[in-house]
Amino acid sequence: MQATLSVLQHPVLAPFLFVGLLYFWLIPQIHTRVMLDANLYELMNWSMAINGVMFWSRSWIRAPSRRRGSAI
């Protein structure tokens, strides 16, 4: 599970997944169907929530701090 999350949250891949999923749900034919089906609507909301947390958590995680006086 951790390895999968590491790949999905990679700084290069995460933005593409975030924007790609957003655009997927906004394709007119798909979006219309989702608005008419409660199960698909719930799936869309959960997938966007999980995707958003995975994407934005990269910004929330603090980078490891370096010790003072350590060589660079």
- Give me the residue spans of the domains in the chain: 11-58
Kindly report, residue by residue over 5-57, the tens digit of the pLDDT: 777 777 778 888 888 999 999 999 999 999 999 999 999 999 999 888 888 87
**pTM here?**
0.68
Q: Which residue do the tokens 């999980």 mark?
A: 50
List the structure tokens of 22.
Answer: 């957003």
pLDDT confidence band for 4 (50 / 70 / 90): confident
pLDDT confidence band for 65 (50 / 70 / 90): low
Distance CA 63, CA 2 (A): 18
pLDDT confidence band for 66 (50 / 70 / 90): low
